[in-house]
Amino acid sequence: MWHRSASFILDKQQLQQSGTVTDPDSRPLSPASTAMPAENPNPKISLYYQTRAAHHGVVTSDWLEQAQAAAAGHTEDSVSENYLSGSEEDSKGFSVVDEFNNWRKQPDLAEAVAAIRSLASVIRSSQATTMMELEIELKKAADLLKVAGCDLFMRYVTRTSALEYEDFNSAKSRLMERAEKFGEISYKARRIIAMLGQDFILDGCTILVHGFSRVVLEVLRTAANNKKHFRVFCTEGRPDRTGLRLSNELAKLDVPVKLLIDSAVAYSMDEVDMVFVGADGVVESGGIINMMGTYQIALVAKSMNKPVYVAAESYKFARFYPLDQKDLVPALRPIDFGVPIPSKVEVETSARDYTPPQYLTLLFTDLGVLTPSVVSDELIQLYL
């Protein structure tokens, strides 16, 4: 069953939870997921972006306490070494999600890597005695998490024909190895991308950056450490203030930075040599899903013949094909305008948009430097 790997399924579940009463029989996951909204203090806000916001801003101690208290309410079942397969899906469900959340609170860790590591811990603490049981456990845990990396991980882990011929324990340890290795590969992906991106940053070039991507920061940091001379234009990145955070980081690296308001991109595009963005997800068409404003910048850059480079790890590739901007699962983010808004006025609160592949020049991934058209080829190789 291929769900949309676009890592917001948790939000969709919460949306459904807050809307309707679910039948416990038909949806064995519902007890688990009804508890999860308790962890999300504000079901209308995309959990993913809450996390990103927490990473960007101050993770307040209240928030952490609140999250921990909500998770701790189920501590009887949480992070226990004894997983019982079969009927006690609730406790297992809580444990995986709990583990995932623990990983996710580290700002440096990508969400998919966190998912992979928590699935690895599922294997580690599994009480299963046969391969089938283990696979079923993994599948259930992966269903609960359903972020982009999990599908790939499942494929990667279970595509082991040689496992059938070994005894169970060595098969299990083999799986564990693979799981750990996958996590390592993903973690190192940023370094690989940074190395690949170095050839494209020339001395004296001007780079326009939008959003706060840790991969892009890694690329720029590596270039600065290699003593390249370049300057960076950061968009302000309303409403998350990503540009301010990025400019802080770059100022520490002694890279000349200039902050632009989002409206000033076309004004400054003349002086820009290339645009660099990260991605929340790379879709089958070769386009990307990223913070709101990326599409706009790519459009402006294309019209002025400036290359747009995307830095994305391979686990962000998703089996997903949006046909237009609204064809995404909504991820909403409240916007603070600083002044009260009349009640009759709506606000467009979507946190991200879709950039079609014709506006992108190259994607830097840990699989290499790809053109957007190659992305679907790579996806086929990964998923089949």
Q: Which of 248, 358, 371, 373 binds a copy of itself (CB under 8 A)?
A: 248
Give the CA diameter of the chain: 68
Q: Does 334 bind a copy of itself (CB under 8 A)?
A: no
Give me the amino acid identity at 220.
L
- Output the smallest distance, CB 239 to a copy of itself, in A: 6
| Closest by Cα among 162, 163, 160, 154 to 182 | 154
Interacting span for a copy of itself (CB under 8 A) from 74-82, 136-144, 215-223, 254-262: 254-262
Contacts 24+ apart (CB under 8 A), 37-43: 38/70, 38/73, 39/67, 39/70, 39/71, 39/101, 40/14, 41/66, 43/14, 43/15, 43/17, 43/18
Alpha carbon distance 334, 31 (integer Å): 28
Q: Does 309 bind a copy of itself (CB under 8 A)?
A: no
Q: Does 176 bind a copy of itself (CB under 8 A)?
A: no
Alpha carbon distance 325, 292 (integer Å): 11
Q: Which of 9, 38, 176, 264 binds a copy of itself (CB under 8 A)?
A: 264
Alpha carbon distance 17, 76 (integer Å): 23
295 contacts 326 by C-beta, under 8 angstroms: no
Contacts with a copy of itself, 266-305, as mask; x by CB under 8 A = xxx-x--------------------xxx-xx--xx--x--
Q: Does 261 bind a copy of itself (CB under 8 A)?
A: yes
Residue corresponding to tokens 């990473």: 55
- Output the smallest distance, CB 26 to a copy of itself, in A: 36
Q: Does 342 bind a copy of itself (CB under 8 A)?
A: yes
Q: Does 260 bind a copy of itself (CB under 8 A)?
A: yes
Residues in contact with a copy of itself by CB under 8 A are: 233, 235-239, 241, 244, 247-248, 251, 254, 256-268, 270, 291-293, 295-296, 299-300, 303, 324-325, 335, 337-339, 341-342, 344-348, 350, 353
